[in-house]
Amino acid sequence: NVLCWLETYYGSKWRFLEHKGPVFAPPYEPMPDKVKFFYDGKPMKLSAPAEEVATFFAKMLEHEYTTKDIFRKNFFKDWRKEMTPEEKSKITDLNKCDFSDMSAFFKAQSEARKQMSKEEKQKIKEENERILQEYGFCIMDNHKERIGNFRIEPPGLFRGRGDHPKMGMLKRRIRPQDIIINCSKDSKIPKAPPGTKWKEVRHDNKVTWLVSWTENIQGSIKYIMLNPSSRIKGEKDWQKYETARRLKKCVDRIRNQYREDWKSKEMRIRQRAVALYFIDKLALRAGNEKEEGETADTVGCCSLRVEHIKLYPKMDDQEYVVEFDFLGKDSIRYYNKIPVEKRVFKNLQLFLENKQPEDDLFDRLNTSILNKHLQELMDGLTAKVFRTYNASITLQQQLKQLTTGDDSVPAKILSYNRANRAVAILCNHQRAPPKTFEKSMQNLQTKIDDKQSQLSTARKQLKAAKADHKASHDEKSKKIEEQLMKLQMQATDREENKQIALGTSKLNYLDPRISVAWCKKYGIPIEKIYNKTQREKFAWAIDMAEKDYEF
């Protein structure tokens, strides 16, 4: 409609926005006097600010990273900033600090929480529900919408992922004077807590956030935004998949183009073309440059270094094999050996010439150059669209290949999960094997064994009673067979999923309409594929996709 078009055209995201502002972290509660901190073996009463920071460390004492040098160094430096001059002069060595009493106190506290009576737990639940009702919703353009994260992050010690140079630094407490509120001029402006003021109240309908503040570790801005079920997020999500579908229409042209570019006279074009080939074929991320020393050393495609690939002209029975080994987003290792076209291989050899291991593989390329090129190839095309496109097309193709019409429902679910798994592997979505994995596999096996003996018992009974109650016993063993089958499917699924995380691709890369269509086509209840939150997020797709939808 015209209004919608106008909004898009002028970049406004809403006309009316009203909300109650954020919920702050609860204030610090000082330790009871009986809980001691010891320095150099002697008890020492800390000032409230120093004590608070000490409790952050105490709460993490069990974790391995409190033993790491960088963590301890960063923590100690920031902790000292919170100390009084006296404390500062006395506490000079972290190794002489004993937090164990504090740690034990917190452990007991959390134990006590678990042991609370049903009534007490209910009371807490009700209070949370009340806060949710009050602060968890906003009005955006005539609709009541759920807010994603309406609570401000509490203070604590920063723990980045991987080898983060800033691990252990103090993440400071956010106060009202740090907060920027964004809402309509004509809405009820949220009130700052008594005696405080917001940093700023603005009325910017070119953005979707309701609240923002600047975080002190990286100096980046944090936002409070709407829940994925909201109109504004849903439309954006839908747009994303439509862009990926447009790529589907011209991907052949683009592939031919970059294959041509492998032969270009210009180095920058050949580098661009090889990088794009990796992004397309291997679903690598773009790989922005990162400031050294500010974050963990991770890379994506454009930021790959010489040390991250190895070339093998021959490997076993394959030619022109490239071995990738690097840390990607969240310091997750990407390891892959793939045979490539001879031209790609020759190009890579050329890119490596006269370089040190720590030099950039693509020295004439960055994400900005790449995305500008992509934009010229297709409106709205960027590196990440390839991930979305390849993920979704893989799911669709795998579902077609793996689903058998007359399979049972559990068998079809297994097929679905396998298709999903193919995507997760492509996108390198890994997880640490669950701590209880072996145990849980064992439990499942026990259930299978039980079921199997149940089945043989039932079959014996059937034989014995063949003459009279044939029908009912036959039905009984059939039911047990089904249950057994279901358990076996579950076991296979779980085993195959040991180190693979399906959630990320399901939530971010797979056009939900593919899954909805598949469910409709094979009569699978959508609940088997999407849980409640996911159904809320994908409501738009559940509404619109028919059984013949094609990505």
Partner DNA sequence: CTTTTGACTTGCCGAGAGTACG
Partner DNA sequence: CGTACTCTCGGCAAGTCAAAAG
Burial of 439 (0-12, 13-18, 19+ CB in 10 A): exposed
122: contact with DNA by CB under 7 A: no
* Strand, coil or helix: 365: coil
**Min CB(28)–DNA separation in Å:** 15
* Strand, coil or helix: 335: strand
The piece of 233-241, 345-353, 475-483, 512-520 that touches DNA (CB under 7 A) is 233-241
Write the binding mask 154 to 193 for DNA: x where contact by CB under 7 A, - elsewhere: x-x-xxxxx-x------x----------------------
221: contact with DNA by CB under 7 A: yes
Instruction: State the Rg of the chain over Cα.
Output: 29
Of the residues 80, 310, 364, 431, which one makes contact with DNA according to CB under 7 A: 431
Concerning whether 509 is annotated as a catalytic residue, the answer is yes
Q: 226 near 148, Cβ under 8 Å?
A: yes
How far lies 218's CA from each of 291, 319, 323, 414, in Å? 11, 45, 33, 43
**Beta-bridge partner residues of 211:** 181, 224
Q: Which of residues 234-293 bind DNA (CB under 7 A)?
A: 236-237, 240, 285-288, 290-291
Q: How many residues does the chain have?
A: 551
The H or E element spanning position 520 is helix 512-522
| Spatial distance between the Cα atoms of 447 and 490, rounded to a whole number of angstroms | 11
Select which of 509, 522, 530, 549 is catalytic.
Answer: 509
**Min CB(275)–DNA separation in Å:** 11
First and final C-alpha spacing in the chain: 24
The piece of 48-56, 98-106, 353-361, 498-506 that touches DNA (CB under 7 A) is 498-506
Torsion sign, CA atoms 13, 17, 19, 22? positive
125: contact with DNA by CB under 7 A: yes
| Spatial distance between the Cα atoms of 388 and 383, rounded to a whole number of angstroms | 10
533: contact with DNA by CB under 7 A: yes
**Min CB(259)–DNA separation in Å:** 21
113: contact with DNA by CB under 7 A: yes
Select 207 or 485, whichever has its Cβ closest to DNA: 207
Strands, sheet with 200-202, edge to edge from the N-terminal-most edge strand: 200-202, 180-182, 211-214, 221-224
Q: Which of residues 370-399 bind DNA (CB under 7 A)?
A: 371, 375, 382-385, 387-388
512: contact with DNA by CB under 7 A: no
Of the residues 298, 403, 420, 488, which one makes contact with DNA according to CB under 7 A: 298
Select 49 or 148, whichever has its Cβ closest to DNA: 148
The H or E element spanning position 264 is none
- Tokens 């009371």 locate to 123
**Min CB(382)–DNA separation in Å:** 3
The H or E element spanning position 44 is strand 42-44
Q: Which of residues 313-332 bind DNA (CB under 7 A)?
A: 328-332
Select 283 or 545, whichever has its Cβ closest to DNA: 283
Q: Which of residues 34-93 bind DNA (CB under 7 A)?
A: none
216: contact with DNA by CB under 7 A: no
229: contact with DNA by CB under 7 A: no
Active site residues: 509
